[in-house]
Amino acid sequence: MNLISKFDPWRSSVCTCPSKLTLNPYTGCDHMCVYCYASSYIPRFNDCRPKKNLITRLRKEAAKLKGETISMSNSSDPYPNLEIETSLTRKCLEIITEQSCRVQIITKSNHVVRDIDLLRKVPSTVSITITTDDDAVGVLVEPKAPLPSERLEAVETLVGKGIPTCVRVDPIIPFVNDKPESLMETIAAMGVKHVTSSTLKIKPSIWPRISTELPNIAERLKSLYFKRGERMGGYIFLPKDIRFALMATIGLLAKKHKLRFGTCREGLSCLNTAPCDGSWLLNGRLGL
Ligand code: SF4
């Protein structure tokens, strides 16, 4: 099985991402987010481990690349806590930037700033997921990930170093982080140009974690998802009117702060003002 493959999330009809390749240096992730979708299809998900013979295999596969766009990573975070010891994502970046590939990083970690020197060599974007600007809420929903305040510092550093940076306010969980006004204001003031958002979808593997970690919230979410929710592709979505209202509100905040906006896997591309994955920013800055 190849390490680099066509990006095809969930084979989902509601994905509006432009065509690209994807590379996951790790299987699993140690950030332990309560809402993690990938934990529903990857065995032993929180046992984060590097892909077997990662660097040797990648060198072989990368020799055939010719400047394609590679997204890192879509199934598991490319900067888990384990990366601090292994630097494997950095080694991957060294290889793919040698092939002049365009790079999209998606992470929940401030450790991405370590690799700014490599990201400056090619057209690149970094999308940092920040679901809240309240560290206490962050610890509740993303217990082993760097704090939201640390991620915000990373956003400031990336923007300051000229790396086009998006923020994923994603997922929006009703009653938890559905009022991101101050977060949107903060990131706009930092110079972020694009925000992507989506609402929480429920998988059978996700619901027990939410019920355990957020029991009061789960009680309030139950009827929204299980009585009124929409079933699509093995996931339970919030009712469409609620999803539309949540996404439209964030779209309006984006407009107010002059940010481009994309919804992710909502079937609401009517609200998008730019490609959902922020890839338009790849054209904003050519490699130095
Ligand atoms: S950072 Fe992403 S991949 Fe890792 S546990 Fe959280 S949602 Fe899952």
9-18 residue pLDDT tens: 656 667 777 7
The residue segments making up the domain with residue 140 are 4-283
Q: How many angstroms does the Cα of residue 23 sit away from the middle of ligand 1?
A: 15
How many folded domains does the chain comprise? 1
Indicate which residue's Cα is closest to atom 3 of ligand 1. 76
User: Which of ligand 1's atoms lies nearest the C-alpha of 75?
Assistant: 3
Structure tokens given for 141: 């929903």
Instruction: Give 36 Cα–ligand 1 centroid separation in angstroms.
Output: 5
Average pLDDT for residues 22-38, to the nearest whole number? 95
Q: Write down the pLDDT at residue 286.
A: 41
Determine the distance separating the centroid of ligand 1 and the alpha carbon of 32, expressed in angstroms: 6
| Mutational pocket test of ligand 1: of 29, 82, 177, 206, the residue with most ligand atoms within 8 Å of the beta carbon | 29
- Tell me, in angstroms, the distance from the centre of ligand 1 to residue 161's CA: 26
**pLDDT confidence tier of residue 234, bands split at 50, 70 and 90:** confident
Give residue ranges with CB within 6 A of ligand 1: 29, 31-33, 36, 38, 76-77, 108, 145
**Does residue 7 surpass a pLDDT of 90?**
no
Work out which ligand 1 atom sits closest to the CA atom of 29.
Answer: 4
For a pLDDT cut of 70, what percent of the chain falls above it? 96
Give the per-residue pLDDT at 177.
98
Ligand 1 atom with minimal separation from the 38 CA = 8
Instruction: Tell me the CA–centroid distance for residue 169 and ligand 1, in Å.
Output: 14
DSSP state string for 232-245:
ETTEEEPPHHHHHH
Rounded to an integer, the average pLDDT of 95-118 is: 96
60: Cβ–Cβ under 8 A, 6 or more apart, which residues?
none
Tokens 């994923």: give the residue. 168
CA 49 – ligand 1 centroid, Å: 14
Top-confidence residue, 269 or 113? 113
Render pLDDT for 247-271 as a digit per residue (tens, 0 to 9). Answer: 999 999 999 999 999 998 898 989 9
Neighbours of 2 (CB within 10 A): 11
Residue 183 lies in a domain: yes
Our measurement of the distance from residue 116's CA atom to the centroid of its chain's CA atoms, rounded to an integer in Å, reads 18
Other CB atoms within 10 A of residue 149 CB: 14
> How many angstroms separate the alpha carbon of residue 76 from the centre of ligand 1?
6
Q: Given ligand 1 and candidates 27, 81, 108, 177, which is best to mutate, with the most ligand atoms within 8 Å of its CB?
A: 108
Tell me which residue has tokens 């309006």. Answer: 252
Residue 12's pLDDT is 65
The mean-pLDDT minimum among 18-27, 89-98, 167-176, 237-246 falls in 18-27
Ligand 1, atom 8, residue with closest C-alpha: 36
Lowest mean pLDDT among 38-52, 78-92, 111-125: 38-52
Closest CA to 288 of 113, 69, 117, 98: 117
Q: Whose CA is nearest to atom 7 of ligand 1?
A: 36
Please give the mean pLDDT across all residues of the chain.
93
Q: How far is the CA of 190 from the centre of ligand 1 (A)?
A: 24
Does residue 288 fall inside a structural domain? Answer: no
As a whole number, mean pLDDT of residues 147-169 equals: 97
> Is residue 188 domain-resident?
yes
Read off the CATH number of the domain in which 133 is found.
3.80.30.30
Q: Which residues pair with 167 in a beta bridge?
A: 128, 195
Kindly give the number of the ligand 1 atom that is closest to the alpha carbon of 145: 1
Q: 288 pLDDT exceeds 50?
A: no
Residues in CB range of 235: below 8 A, 6 or more apart: 10, 37, 201, 202, 203
Tell me the sheet residues that pair with 262: 196
pLDDT in tens, 190-228: 999 999 999 999 998 899 999 999 999 999 999 999 999
Q: What is the pLDDT of residue 247?
A: 98
Q: How many Å is the Cα radius of gyration of the chain?
A: 18
Q: Is the pLDDT of residue 285 over 90?
A: no
| Geometric angle at alpha carbon 275, from 274 and 276, rounded to 5° | 105
Confidence band, pLDDT 50/70/90 cuts, at residue 8: confident
